């Protein structure tokens, strides 16, 4: 019998699914709860005084650990579990997912004409233990006028993305320069992901 070469992805992000498919990594979804009645398995609340890198690393590790527990509780076939979390940071301010039009507009106004950081942390939990890494990229926005910001924020694109934009979508026209990992800015740095998964025994050509 051939050894199974598959993982669980503990993420709802369609972009992370696309990125794994891009490099030929097979996966099944293993989703955590994010709604009542019992509440989310992992909250994404920033702790008082918590630095951005510490925050994104902690949340990602909690997601991977909870998904590993869920795999056993649901009596699923044991496989490595991959989790990730992305945050946008301007200075030391964490910009999460905008809740409404007003918040999306505010975020784009802040990012306009500025260079910010995108931190994506990945964690893999397997029979060998757990390992994690955080990848940091820089993204520079051109100066945006109010009409550009309003038109973008009235689309559906900003509302499920940290910082209120997606580099792979219409916001690409705002970005003058990036430094780092394009896939990391999308939400899953593929080089680092492949490195961690290979350590668990996943074969990636």
Which residue in the list 28, 34, 65, 85 is annotated as catalytic? 85
Q: Is 34 a known active-site residue?
A: no
Per residue, the 3-state secondary structure of the chain, as one string, reads CCCCCEEEECCCCHHHHHHHHHCCCEEEECCCCCCCCCCCCCCCCCCCCCCHHHHHHHHHHHHHHHHHHHHHHCCCCCCCEEEEEEEEEECCEEECCCCCHHHHHHHHHHHCCCEEEEEEEEEEEECCEEEEEEEEEEEEECCCCHHHHHHHHCCCHHHHCHHHCCCCCHHHHHEEEEECCHHHHHCCCHHHHHHHHHHCCCCCC
Residues designated catalytic:
85
């Amino acid at each position: 019998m051939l050894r199974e070469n598959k993982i669980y992805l503990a993420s709802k992000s369609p972009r992370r699914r696309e990125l794994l498919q891009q490099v030929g990594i097979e996966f099944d979804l293993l989703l955590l709860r994010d709604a009542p009645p019992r509440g989310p398995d992992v909250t994404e609340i920033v702790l008082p005084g918590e630095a951005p890198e510490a925050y994104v690393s902690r949340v990602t590790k909690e997601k991977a650990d909870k998904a590993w527990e869920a795999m056993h509780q649901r009596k699923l076939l044991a496989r490595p579990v991959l989790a990730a979390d992305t945050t946008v940071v301007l200075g030391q301010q964490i910009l999460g997912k905008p809740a409404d039009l007003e918040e999306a507009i505010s975020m784009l106004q802040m990012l306009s004409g500025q260079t910010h950081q995108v931190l994506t942390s990945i964690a893999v939990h397997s029979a060998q233990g757990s390992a994690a890494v955080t990848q940091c990229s820089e993204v520079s926005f051109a100066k945006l006028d109010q009409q550009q910001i309003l038109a973008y924020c009235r689309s559906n694109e900003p509302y499920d993305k940290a910082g209120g934009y997606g580099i792979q979508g219409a916001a690409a026209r705002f970005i003058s320069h990036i430094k780092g990992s394009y896939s990391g800015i999308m939400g899953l740095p593929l080089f680092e992901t492949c490195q961690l998964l290979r350590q668990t025994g996943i074969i990636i050509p």
